Amino acid sequence: MSQALHYQSNLRDILFNLFEVLKIQENSLGKGSYSNLDQDTVQEILSTFEEVARKELAPSFVESDRVPLKLDSDGNVTLPEGLKQALKTYYDGDWQKLELPEHLGGSAAPPSVVWSAFEMLIGANPCVAFYAFGTFMARIIDRMGTDAQKKRFLHGLCDQRWGGTMVLTEPDAGSDVGAGTTKARHIEDDIWELEGVKRFITNGDFDATDNIVHMVLARPEGGAPGTKGLSLFIVPKYWVNEDGSLGERNGVYCTNLEKKMGLKGSSTCEMTFGDRGPARGLLLGNVHSGIRQMFHIIEQARMAVGMKSMSTLSTAYLNALAYTKERVQGPDLQNIMDKTSPRVAIINHPDVRRMLMSQKAHAEGMRALCLYTAFLQDQVELAGGHGAPEAKALDHRNDLLLPLVKGYGSEKAYEQLSLSLQCFGGSGYVQDYPIEQYIRDQKIDTLYEGTTHIQALDLFFRKVARDGGETLRSLLGEVGQTLAEIEGKEALADCHRYLSAAVGDFQAIMMMMLEKVGESLYHVGFQGNRLLFGLAELVIGWLLVRQANIAAEQLAQGSTETSFYQGKLATARFFCTQVLPQLKLTRELVKAGDLQLMDLDEACF
């Protein structure tokens, strides 16, 4: 198998989600700012990009891993040539403009379409996807910047292919962003000078662009402690003059490249501000609202990480599926004692089928979760955007689902990738096949943009408790509606029984958690991840059952895509019968949870 052709897309499932489940042709396309797009246009866009991703972006995947990045004494990072060519191909096709609004020269595609294309981009080569982050930074400045800042930066970010980064983490602060010590000193107007060191900055420097725009959290002199005292600054690698032209080198430099287990083509940098001359930046929007502003970037990044994990698992599964159809080894299990029995392709072995269906169910379930969340983002924009009164309920549901997309998606993909590798046997452990690189490249997803437990705490304290559980109850209400719709349908009888039981188990878990929190917040620390995973699996089970209901209708109507729709029924049944029962165990574990570990002396560990 050629590594150059590692990426296996699932465009059919993407289109199934968009047009048969979410029905964006009725609910998103042709409306508001998406009025210039229809189903045929979107299908053509995604079909064309799928070919670009497979044939032109994916070949740089291996080179990105094997050819080291180079950091020179001037703080410049050189990328492998194949990676730069892939990024050039992406920009030459104007694919970055898919997510831009029309007034910035873009296609004004809804998030459901943008994220669908992003799945294929990041599955083909995640490094290319991250180096193209400047387009999103343009949207941030367009939304929050002053008119003068827009004039200064938008042309470069949208049309001249400038890069963009989010700069939060510091060596001594880590996930505790509020402990950051990078300082900002006011010079004049909206211009400040920054001083400090940041770490783990994705794509902090690279040589495929003329400029990089860093969005940096720093504390103005005299600023309050914690996150509330932070402000957000636009700090370019090369100073940008008021008319948008490039000026002199700014005082922000990459001073170290991290040596990593995976995702090696993405330059993870230590960035030093103010050590080799003033590091000038502009206060975003000329307002001190850093952490609120940065969260718009963080939430985009968390969605991207969830999409990356899902896409990696999807292509790993499809690679494993192809291998198990080709690899002949051992007799059929029922003939194992007959030494003359013919050897069979390993897809005929029960354990291999179990592993394959587990990967399929989780990959397609995570895609359903990601694209449903993206669809909610469509509706938020059509209802007036973030902060609009008409969009409040949709906004809150999107917020509720983001920890599931990122936290559960990244953890479960890593777990399931182990099954992908297992399907290859020893061949999966060597570099003849892409699975070992998938595993190394994907592991970071559980760690950056907020570790898994940070996602769990965010879910419990900010997303559920914020509105007294109203958003969660609304979501569970829709699960109940689906249960009512499928009740009595023979083909979905198992799905109905197990999904209904899972709803009851999760509600019981929530009641127990509320009681335990009254005793100590430590209970959230112990049980938060279980709560996150339990809700994610309940929601994914619900979404897969919705898909199965549509599949059953298509089969009843005589669809010629028999295998595809039967696969949807089998996938939902597998997830409901083999994954959802774990909520009952989670219920017992939460019930049995106590605080003894917190009383244990450190010496006992």
Superfamily of domain 3-141: Acyl-CoA dehydrogenase/oxidase, N-terminal domain (1.10.540.10)
Closest to 545 in 3D by CA, of 360, 390, 365: 365
**CATH architecture, range 146-288:** Beta Barrel (2.40)
Average of per-residue pLDDT across 488-505 = 98
What pTM value is reported for the model? 0.97
C-alpha 410/C-alpha 403 separation (Å) is 10
Q: Any idea how long the chain is?
A: 605
| Residue 181: Cβ within 10 Å count | 13
Q: Which of 50, 381, 436, 449 is catalytic?
A: 449
Confidence (pLDDT) at 189:
96
Average of per-residue pLDDT across 110-118 = 98
Q: How confident is the model at residue 566 (pLDDT cuts 50, 70, 90)?
A: very high
Read off the pLDDT of residues 371-389 as tens digits, 9 standing for 90 and up: 999 999 999 999 999 889 9
Contact 255, 215 (CB under 8 A): no
Confidence (pLDDT) at 416:
98
Confidence (pLDDT) at 179:
87
Q: Which DSSP letter does residue 468 get?
A: T
Q: List, in sequence order, every residue forming a beta bridge with 294; answer none if it has no partner.
A: none
Is 5 a residue whose pLDDT tops 80? no
Average of per-residue pLDDT across 116-122 = 98
Read off the pLDDT of residues 168-222 as tens digits, 9 standing for 90 and up: 999 988 788 888 999 999 999 999 999 999 999 999 999 999 999 999 999 999 9
Rg over alpha carbons for the chain, rounded to the nearest Å, is 25
Instruction: Mention every residue, 6+ apart, whose C-beta is less than 8 A from residue 422.
Output: 355, 428
Confidence (pLDDT) at 3:
46
Average of per-residue pLDDT across 524-540 = 98
Half-sphere exposure of 343 (CA within 13 A, CB side): 8
User: Could you tell me the two tokens for 432?
Assistant: 């003849």
Is 595 a residue whose pLDDT tops 90? yes
Task: Give the CA diameter of the chain.
Answer: 86
Is 361 a residue whose pLDDT tops 70? yes
Question: Coil, helix or strand for 385?
Answer: coil
Half-sphere exposure of 197 (CA within 13 A, CB side): 9
Closest to 449 in 3D by CA, of 128, 165, 69, 115: 165
Confidence (pLDDT) at 114:
98
| Residue 415: Cβ within 10 Å count | 11
Is 32 a residue whose pLDDT tops 60? yes
Is 121 a residue whose pLDDT tops 70? yes
Is 88 a residue whose pLDDT tops 60? yes
Terminal-residue alpha carbon distance, the chain: 46
Confidence (pLDDT) at 176:
84
Q: What is the mean pLDDT of the chain?
A: 96
C-alpha 79/C-alpha 92 separation (Å) is 18
**Residue position matching structure tokens 């990044």:** 301
Question: Coil, helix or strand for 287?
Answer: coil
Q: How confident is the model at residue 298 (pLDDT cuts 50, 70, 90)?
A: very high
Residue 230's φ and ψ, nearest 5 degrees, are: -95, 150
Is 1 a residue whose pLDDT tops 50? no
Q: What is the DSSP string of 561-592?
A: -HHHHHHHHHHHHHHHHHTTTHHHHHHHHHHH
Is 239 a residue whose pLDDT tops 80? yes
Read off the pLDDT of residues 436-495 as tens digits, 9 standing for 90 and up: 999 999 999 999 999 999 999 999 999 999 899 999 999 999 999 999 999 999 999 999
* Percentage above 70 pLDDT, the chain: 99
| Residue 38: Cβ within 10 Å count | 12
| Active-site annotation holds for 449 | yes
Amino acid identity, position 337: M
Confidence (pLDDT) at 161:
97
Is 2 a residue whose pLDDT tops 90? no
